[in-house]
Chains A and B, each alone.
Chain A
Amino acid sequence: MTRADAAVTLRGVSRVYGRGAAAVRAVDDVTIEFPRGGWTAVMGPSGSGKSTLLHCAAGLERVDAGQVLLGGTDLTAARDRELTALRRTRIGFVFQSFNLIGSLTAAQNVALPLRLAGRRPRGSEVRDTLAAVGLADRVRHRPRELSGGQQQRVAIARAMVTRPDVLFADEPTGALDSSAAHVVLDLMRQMADAGQAIVMVTHDPVAAARADAVIFLRDGRVVDRLAGAGPREVADRLAGWEARR
């Protein structure tokens, strides 16, 4: 059974797009555990199935085979109603393109998951979460009035406000310049140090090196794993896998 220290467990998970000759095994029989209180980076060549793996682990995508366990809950067997409730309470998701709701202010965007869960957010709760991502003075701004880095921090605040078991992030720094990326990565490091489980897809060796462990995907399979490596070592390993075509 699931070990107590695993936040998310994938067992023999496969996801196939299309049928017959056109079928793509985006995730191919992956078995992996993401530890509680640890930050895992997922790397690999473009099209290797990183995003698909993340979506499956977060219950956003159906799996064709295998099992996804969030703590003790089997996501593959969960119905939409349960998945929705999990999204509100135990799973946080951050996209490369922020996906904030344009008509709502930063504070309203962050408060949204709480309100959807039927909770009236305490005034301080939203403000504290925004302050934690360094945006205490941008509470009333709308997304179009914020920079890319600021928007991504609002998105992280929105994902974190429910104190989820796991935070999933798909290339959270992909649309940011290096200094904005630095702020976001520092923020995630703080969260991981405070015991937050994070699974992050990235192309950037510098970002991956901030994580506790890095796994490498190729053609939908986990092919390698590194722990406590620096940016140079991560970059070399990635280049190695990308070269073996």
Chain B
Amino acid sequence: MMGMSPSFASTQAWTISRRSLAERWQLFAGAFLSVTLGVALVQSSLLLLISAALYEPPAGLSAADRMEFTDSTAAVVSMLGIILGIATFLAGFIISSTFAFTVAQRRRDLALLRLVGAGRGQVRRLLLGEAVLLGTLGAAVGVPLGLVVMAAQTWLLRRMGFVPDGFRGEWREWILAGSFGTGIVLAVAGAMVAARRAARVRPLEALRETGDAARVMTVTRWLAGLLFFGGALALIIVAPHGGPDGGAAMAMNVPLPAAIAAAALSPLVVPLLGCLLPTGSGVAGVLARANLWDARRRSASVAAPLIVLVALVVGTAGAGQTFTTSGIDELRRQTHADLVVGTTGPPATAIAAVPGVATASTESSLPVTYTTGHGEDAETETGSALVIDPAAYALAHSAGSSLTSLSGHAVAAGPSGDVPAHGTVKIELPGLKLGSLPIVAAAPTTMSGGADLLLPPGVAPASLLESAPTRSFVTLRPGADLPTTRAALAKIGTVSTTDAWLTADAKARTKTSDKIMLVIMGLGGLYALIGVVNSIVIGAAARRREFAEARITGLTRTQVVRSALLESAAVTVAGLVLGAVAAAGAYWAAVASTAAVTGHGTLSVPWPLVGAVCLVALLVTGATSLITSWSATRRPPITLLAARE
């Protein structure tokens, strides 16, 4: 019935596309920016991940250093994997919500097109054509920008000691296809749902903003909201059954689906916050309250990236901190010792011979490469082994009778839980192949991990132990004088109280994951914040007319700006609250998991971080709203209203 050649239709769509690009540049600049930054972040993370995975240790390293190197490379690869995952998630979320918002903001233009005879297909093709164009342009700038981001990320990794100085992210030819693909696919996917909807509503309703066109809680929104809510709930329910590592991984992943669910369902919640605006705030307050309700779509678009920001930063960091604290608490309960003596190699003088000492468990740490399983299932990993005296170890670490059978040419599975409790394991110490040894015992698994293997005395040669970092957990005789004993021990090595040593040890071990959090939060948080600014700018671009109408009605410019500020504050608070709800989901999973693993539920909220995030969010949204509404009201209102369309 339309009887038109597809090529002509698309030429037509391009003509209109180019025109609307020129007219509504803020919308398109926002969409373009979201693609550019998203592509840059994903490309840089992907290139670094591949470079790290293929990185060869420099020649001339000692056997022990080589093992350490392999161990730390594995950590960097898994960290970059997490960063890539988060970058992709953020890019998908922010690009698609920005595109959906720009389409929604132009509903009136699209309705006019439909009224003069544009078909549904034409509107869809127009919008998708724009998405392809913006995705391509965004990627074209995003690719070179990605190289800058990669240089910054490499510098960060090097500064923090994750990678050696020689490490460089390397360019790959195919990344061009990957980056352009990412930009175009994410842009089109974001525009798709909005375009279908814009094409489907009846033109008259779109023009008047009534009926279907005014509905914000669409079926897609409900579906996405409930689906991801279910996903987050499932993670929360399963996390306590995942053991120490699985539980932590699941709890730290709760913020992602929870944030999507909260963002999708936010139009239900955001206007409610309008009711909390102080009623005494005069006409600006009345206007802000009315706008919160009337412009639920716009409010939701500003709140969405905020929700992701809070959920990701506060939720993930809090869950991580909870697991660390829980690990320290557990060790505190398990460790029975008064002092810890640190030495290099086993102490020269017997600690047990020092007057006042009842028992001492001396433990030397060695890097180890171990292989479990046979044939196809064989798995080789790098980790650490502790050379111990089983009886003393069991006393100092509440291991009970679990290690009584550890002696001779055999090993025990360590508290990390990474080695099975039965079977055999092939072990290689620095410069020494030990061959296959039976696993005859297993120490209880702990939250905070620790050594992978426990070796009885005599398995590792003394020459290797000489340089091994060693600690001895010391218990004093009843009635022994602490200062005297301490002074005597200080001649053997560095002495600290057990509490101080456990805290320092946990800090040293979580330093890596703390730095990982910093890298992820720094980049992800910045991108999400840019998403917030983007939404406010896009929203304000379409509001010049609305502001002008308010001023013609008698509001002063200051009142209009104040009302815009009030509205943005309410939306920001709503975003923070919803983000906090999503983060609370992660906390819930973390508490349940720590309770299941250690018997004691722990919760540790990073309050300074929470405060900082809230402050930054309020400042950024406030400043952006102030600037955009001030500049949108610069011209006298009549010049806008006289030019009716």
CB contact list, A14-52 vs B, under 8 A = none
The chain B residue with its CB closest to the CB of A159 is B116
The interface residues of chain A lying within 8 Å CB-to-CB of B115 are 60, 87, 93, 99
Looking at B4-12, B420-428, B569-577, the stretch in contact with chain A turns out to be B4-12
Query: Which B residues are in CB contact (< 8 Å) with A115?
Result: 12, 15
With both beta carbons as reference points, the residue of chain A lying nearest to B639 in the complex is identified as: A144
B84-122 interface bits toward A, Cβ cutoff 8 Å, 1 = contact, 0 = none: 000000000000000000000000010011111111101
Q: Given A87-B117, A97-B644, do A102 and B23 touch, yes or no (CB 8 Å)? A: yes
Q: A60-B203, A98-B645 are in contact. Are A112 and B116 (CB under 8 A)?
A: yes
Q: For residue B63, give the distance in angstroms from its CB to the closest CB of chain A.
A: 71
Which residue of chain A is the closest to B9 with respect to CB atoms?
A: A118
Q: Is B54 an interface residue (CB 8 A)?
A: no
Q: What are the residues of chain B within 8 A of A237 when measuring CB–CB?
A: none
B117 touches A99 (CB 8 A): no
Which of B9, B22, B113, B643 has a CB less than 8 Å from the CB of A144? Answer: B643
Give the shortest distance, in Å, between A180 (CB) and chain B (any CB).
14
- Contact across chains for B23 and A84 when beta carbons are under 8 A apart: no
B20 touches A103 (CB 8 A): yes
Cβ of A88 and Cβ of B120 under 8 Å apart? no
Check A172 for interface membership: any CB of B closer than 8 A: no
Whether the pair B204, A60 counts as a contact (CB closer than 8 A) is yes
Closest beta carbon of chain A to B91's beta carbon, Å: 30
Main secondary structure of the interface of B (DSSP, over half): helix
Per a CB cutoff under 8 Å, which of B5, B12, B643 touches A116?
A: B12
Does A100 make an interface contact (CB < 8 A)? Answer: yes
Interface: B1 (CB within 8 A):
yes
Contact between A80 and B120, CB atoms less than 8 A apart: yes
Assess whether B2 is in contact with A81, with CB atoms less than 8 Å apart.
Answer: yes
A101 to B112, CA, bound (A): 7
- Complex interface: chain B residues within 8 A of A104 (CB): 19
B58 within 8 A of A: no
Q: Indicate with 1 or 0, residue by residue over A66-92, a CB within 8 angstroms of chain B CB atoms.
A: 000000000000001110110111000
* Cβ of A160 to closest chain B Cβ, rounded Å: 12
The listed residue (A80, A93, A99, A118) touching B3 by CB distance below 8 A is: A118
Q: Can you list, as one digit per residue, whether each of B601-645 has a CB less than 8 Å from chain A (1) or not (0)? A: 000000000000000000000000000000000000000001111
Q: How far is the CB of A32 from chain B (nearest CB, A)?
A: 21
Interface string of B381-422 (1 = CB under 8 A from A): 000000000000000000000000000000000000000000
Q: Do the beta carbons of A143 and B645 come within 8 Å of each other?
A: yes
B116 contacts A113, C-beta separation under 8 Å: yes
Within residues 2 to 40 of chain B, which ones have a CB less than 8 A from any CB in chain A?
2-5, 8-9, 12, 15, 19-20, 22-23
Complex Cα spacing A97 to B111, Å: 14
Chain B: interface residue total (CB-CB under 8 A): 32
Q: Does B117 lie within 8 Å of A61, measured CB to CB? A: no
Complex: how many Å from CA A93 to CA B114?
A: 12
B1 touches A85 (CB 8 A): yes
Query: Which residues in chain B, 314-335, are within 8 Å of chain A measured between CB atoms?
Result: none
- For residue A112, which residues in chain B have a CB less than 8 angstroms away from its CB? 113, 116-117
Which B residues are CB-close (under 8 A) to A101?
109, 112-113, 645
* Contact status B117-A116, CB under 8 Å: yes
| Contact in complex: A118, B2 (CB < 8 Å) | yes
What is the minimal beta-carbon distance from B130 to any residue of chain A, in angstroms?
14
Q: Is B22 touching A103 in the complex (CB atoms < 8 A)?
A: yes
A81:B120 contact, CB within 8 angstroms: yes
Which residue from chain A places its CB closest to the CB of B15 in the assembled complex?
A115
B645 touches A84 (CB 8 A): no
Quick one: given A98-B645, A101-B645, A103-B19, are A117 and B117 in contact (CB under 8 Å)?
yes
Contact A84 B120 (CB under 8 A): yes
How large, as a class, is the contact surface on chain A? Answer: 20 to 34
Are the CB atoms of A103 and B23 closer together than 8 Å?
yes
Give A86's nearest chain B residue, CB to CB: B117
Q: Is the CB of B207 within 8 A of A88?
A: no
Does A158 interact with chain B (Cβ within 8 Å)? yes
Q: How far is the CB of A93 from chain B (nearest CB, A)?
A: 7
Complex CA distance for A116 and B119, rounded to whole angstroms: 8
Task: For the complex, give the distance between the alpha carbons of A60 and B113 in Å.
Answer: 14
| Residues of A close to B3: CB separation below 8 A | 118
Q: Nearest B residue to A80 by beta-carbon distance?
A: B120
Name the contact of B116 in the complex, choosing from A62, A85, A116, A144 (C-beta under 8 A): A116
* A203 CB within 8 Å of chain B: no
Q: Is B207 a contact partner of A99 (Cβ separation < 8 A)?
A: yes
Instruction: For the complex, give the distance between the alpha carbons of A104 and B112 in Å.
Output: 12
A55 interface residue (CB < 8 Å to B): yes
**A151 to B645 alpha-carbon distance, docked (Å):** 9
A226 to chain B, nearest CB (A): 29
Residues on A with beta carbons closer than 8 Å to the beta carbon of B2: 81, 84-85, 117-118
Q: Is the CB of A87 within 8 A of B116?
A: yes
Contact of A84 (CB < 8 Å), options: B22, B114, B204: B114
Q: How far is the CB of B642 from chain A (nearest CB, A)?
A: 8
Q: Name which of B4, B19, B117 has the most chain A CB atoms within 10 A of its CB.
A: B117
The distance in angstroms between the C-alpha atoms of A85 and B119, with both chains bound, is 7
Take A116-B12, A118-B9 as given contacts and tell me if A102 and B645 are in contact as well, using a CB distance cutoff of 8 Å: yes
Which residues from chain A contact B114 at a C-beta distance below 8 Å? 84
Collect the chain B residues with CB atoms within 8 Å of residue A62's CB.
202
User: CA–CA, A53 to B30, complex, Å?
Assistant: 42
CB distance from B105 to the nearest CB of A (A): 14
**Using Cβ atoms and an 8 Å threshold, which residues of chain A touch B119?**
81, 84-85, 116
Distance (whole angstroms) from the CB of B390 to the closest CB of chain A: 80
Is there an interface contact between B22 and A61, defined as CB atoms closer than 8 Å? no
| Residues on the B chain within 8 Å of A88, using CB | 116-117
Query: Measured between C-beta atoms, what is the minimum distance from B645 to chain A in Å?
Result: 4
Contacts of B22 in A (CB 8 A): 103
Complexed CA–CA distance, A225 and B487 (Å):
115
Collect the chain A residues with CB atoms within 8 Å of residue B4's CB.
Answer: 117-118
CA distance A82 to B2 in the complex (A): 8
Distance A102 CA – B202 CA, assembled complex (angstroms): 21
Q: A98-B645, A103-B22, A118-B4 are in contact. Are A55 and B204 (CB under 8 A)?
A: yes
Besides the contacts A101-B645, A103-B22, what 6 more A-B pairs have beta carbons closer than 8 Å? A60-B115, A60-B203, A80-B120, A84-B120, A99-B207, A158-B116
A-B residue pairs, 3 tightest by C-beta? A118-B4, A88-B117, A144-B643
Q: Which residues of A contact B (CB under 8 A)?
A: 55, 60-62, 80-82, 84-85, 87-89, 93, 97-104, 112-113, 115-118, 120, 143-144, 148, 151, 158, 162
Can you show 5 pairs from A to B with CB atoms below 8 A apart?
A61-B202, A81-B120, A87-B117, A97-B644, A118-B8
